[in-house]
């Protein structure tokens, strides 16, 4: 293949090399600091310093909201697990419930007052394997909505960073910092 035929093949793609194509589509390959960088659509293109500042403030708030959603989901998961664990109980065959034992005289013989309070003869049940938690109408749709909102916020933040605008990038980092400062203690890497 000659150099001329190679140029013709490239010309079939519109005659654009990588640099021109990225410039024509509005995507930048290096960080830039233009105050007229579009965000999410052509209609959201700041035309003044005030509009650019408003976009920066929006991205900071979106970063904080993302962290709030993560913390909210972690707290909800903890609450749902606590509620599920409270549903579990063990009935020991042949043992009267405490409410029935209170009315009998033999209750005093079975209980001992210690520094930890009243202790009874108890049976400790420990599960060796983890199990699949049941689907619940009160939990799983809310979990799905939270996950969807978290994904949407993270994708919008990612798209802002992908503009390669330094101001937008710093706004996303600032929102992450402020959000983590406010609610970072409510979630960790496991949630």
pLDDT tens digits, one per residue of 110-158: 555 555 555 555 555 555 566 677 888 989 999 999 999 999 999 999 9
Asked if residue 120 belongs to a domain, the reply is: yes
Q: 155 and 82, same structural domain?
A: yes
Least confident range of 91-100, 155-164, 181-190: 91-100
Could you tell me if 172 and 180 are in contact, meaning their C-beta atoms sit under 8 angstroms apart? no
pTM, 2 dp: 0.64
* pLDDT at position 114: 53
Q: Is the pLDDT of residue 26 over 80?
A: no
Asked if residue 140 and residue 61 are part of one domain, the reply reads yes
The domain total for the chain is 2
Rounded distance, CA 76 to CA 146, Å? Answer: 10
Does 115 lie in the same domain as 69? no
Q: Are residue 115 and residue 100 in the same domain, yes or no?
A: yes
The answer on pLDDT for 84 being more than 60 is yes
Asked if 52 and 46 touch (Cβ cutoff 8 Å), the reply is yes
Among residues 19, 31, 52, which one has the least CA distance to residue 163? 31
| Mean pLDDT along residues 164-173 | 96
Distance CA 26, CA 7 (A): 24
Reported as a pLDDT band with limits 50, 70 and 90, residue 186 is confident
CA-based nearest residue to 174, from 55, 59, 68:
59
* Residue 152 covered by a domain: yes
CA separation for the pair 72, 78 (Å, rounded): 10
pLDDT band of residue 23 (cuts 50, 70, 90) is very low
Whether 103 and 190 share a structural domain: no
- If asked whether residues 64 and 119 sit together in one domain, one would say no
Least confident of 44-48, 54-58, 186-190: 186-190
> Do 103 and 81 belong to one domain?
no
Phi, psi of 84 (to 5 degrees): -70, -40
User: Is the pLDDT assigned to residue 89 strictly greater than 60?
Assistant: no
- In a shared domain, residues 151 and 119: no
Owning domain of residue 112: 91-124
pLDDT(172) > 90: yes
In a domain, 105, yes or no: yes
């Amino acid at each position: 293949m000659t150099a001329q035929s190679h140029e013709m093949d490239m010309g079939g793609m519109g005659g654009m090399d990588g640099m021109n194509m990225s410039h024509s589509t509005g995507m930048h390959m290096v960080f830039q600091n233009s105050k007229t960088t579009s965000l999410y659509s052509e209609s959201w293109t700041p035309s003044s310093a005030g509009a650019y500042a408003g976009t920066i403030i929006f991205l900071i708030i979106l970063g904080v909201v993302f962290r709030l959603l993560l913390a909210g989901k972690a707290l909800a998961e903890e609450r749902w697990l606590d509620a599920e664990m409270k549903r579990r109980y063990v009935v020991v065959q042949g043992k009267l419930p405490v409410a029935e034992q209170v009315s009998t005289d033999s209750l005093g013989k079975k209980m001992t007052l210690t520094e930890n309070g009243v202790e009874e003869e108890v049976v400790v049940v420990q599960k060796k394997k983890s199990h699949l938690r049941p689907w619940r109408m009160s939990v799983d749709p809310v979990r799905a909505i939270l996950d969807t909102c978290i994904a949407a916020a993270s994708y919008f933040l990612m798209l802002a960073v992908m503009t390669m605008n330094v101001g937008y990038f710093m706004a996303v980092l600032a929102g992450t910092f402020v959000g983590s400062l406010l609610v970072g203690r409510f979630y960790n890497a496991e949630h």
